[in-house]
A and B are shown apart, each in its own frame.
Chain A
Amino acid sequence: MGYREDACAAVVQGLEAIGIQFFIHIPDTFGAPVITHFEQQPGVRTFPVAREEEAIGIASGLAMTGKKGVLFCQDVGLGNSMVALTTFAMAYHVPMLVLAIRRGGFGEFNAAVHTYSETAPDMVEAMRLKAFTLDYKVPLDQWPRAIQQAYDYAHMTHRPIIVFLNIKE
């Protein structure tokens, strides 16, 4: 297996340790193995949404009922979700975990997406959203625990927490 597959396996391990009940996703090439895994888990309600913004609303509603959910999307999806993330999830103190797969950078094949993705962390910081990054600088055996901690941190601090994942080869 390559880095992508190993990283996806680490993400799966982290989410299963949390015990997620809902896996909401926007399909992504790099993260496809994670999606495929949860689509095959009968105990996890897994479904795509049409746009990331609505996923923030759905994840918020789930959180308000006490259910464990995660949003799995590309970092560009954060751009599509800023108002929902800030004026609803942050403003109403709704905890949620957003796993955002990094685009742009080394290993990218799309000629345009970097215009967004290179500044995505700066945008998130400017919007006062809290984000962490898991990439090649963090050993993969630490990713599951980090993802668990990110979920716990979101609930302890009553807000959305973003974890950027760089899982390109």
Chain B
Amino acid sequence: MVARIDALRLIAQEFPQEPVVFTCGSTSREMASADRRDNHLYVVDAMGLVSSIVLGLSLGLGDDAQGKVVGVEGDGGMLMNLNALSSIGYLQPANLLLIVLDNQAYASTGGQHTFTDRLDLADIADSCHFRTWRTDELEGLKQAIAEARQAPGPCFIRMRIDPGNTPVPLLQDDPVTLGHTFTRWLASNRC
């Protein structure tokens, strides 16, 4: 399987000109460490909120969004806000893509297991009228992203990853600056 940081590098490379929102903990830390960009929003707390933020971005950008509006969650965060799948499924934003990096654990807090060793989040997304993909390889992730780009309606990629964390510095920027960098990029690009 794939290390989280390698999946994140691929995601950053695949979406250089589109808004991407990253969940808290090691996901944001590793992304900021590996390939920090202005089109990234690092959500350093509010676990589970990424999908809802992305829904708001997707609705707000609407037809102005020239590509996808992307959220990168972990399995723990997605489980914390399953409501978001129902809301997204109900509203059907055309440009929304959720990528869940599923290591079946709360890796940032010591590796406690989540429900996804028994439940498939992609199945839940299916039932909420997402187009879904399941993979555990970088090539599979790349292919899923390519297919999701062409798919109408909200999309969901469940990518299984290794349970470990890559040692990287903590992300301790003032959240105001994290938000400002992102919104300034949004305003200047009107993707």
Expressed in whole angstroms, the Cα–Cα distance for A50 and B186 within the complex equals: 28
Q: Is the CB of A91 within 8 A of B175?
A: yes
Q: Which of A33-41, A61-69, A113-121, A144-152 contacts B (4 or more CB under 8 A)?
A: A61-69
Contact of A49 among B83, B180, B187 (CB under 8 A): B83
Expressed in whole angstroms, the Cα–Cα distance for A84 and B81 within the complex equals: 11
**Chain A's nearest CB lies how many Å from the CB of B82?**
9
Interface size class of A (residues with CB under 8 A): 20 to 34
**Chain A's nearest CB lies how many Å from the CB of B187?**
7
Query: What residue of chain A has the Cβ atom nearest to residue B86's Cβ?
Result: A50
**Chain A's nearest CB lies how many Å from the CB of B67?**
15
**Chain A's nearest CB lies how many Å from the CB of B130?**
16
Is A56 located at the chain interface by the 8 A CB criterion? Answer: yes
Q: Which of B49-57, B109-117, B119-127, B138-146 contacts A (4 or more CB under 8 A)?
A: B49-57
Most buried by B among A49, A54, A84: A54
Contact of A66 among B46, B53, B187 (CB under 8 A): B187
Q: Is the CB of A64 within 8 A of B176?
A: no
Contact of A60 among B45, B51, B53 (CB under 8 A): B53
Contact of B46 among A59, A67, A87 (CB under 8 A): A87
Query: What residue of chain A has the Cβ atom nearest to residue B84's Cβ?
Result: A54
List residues 20-50 of chain A with CB under 8 A from any CB of chain B. 22, 45, 47, 49-50
Q: Is the CB of A64 within 8 A of B83?
A: no
Task: Enumerate chain A interface residues (CB-CB to B < 8 A).
Answer: 22, 45, 47, 49-51, 53-67, 69, 83-84, 87-88, 91-94
Query: Given A60-B52, A91-B44, list of 10 further CB < 8 A pairs?
Result: A45-B59, A50-B86, A50-B87, A54-B49, A54-B84, A58-B56, A60-B53, A60-B56, A88-B53, A93-B176
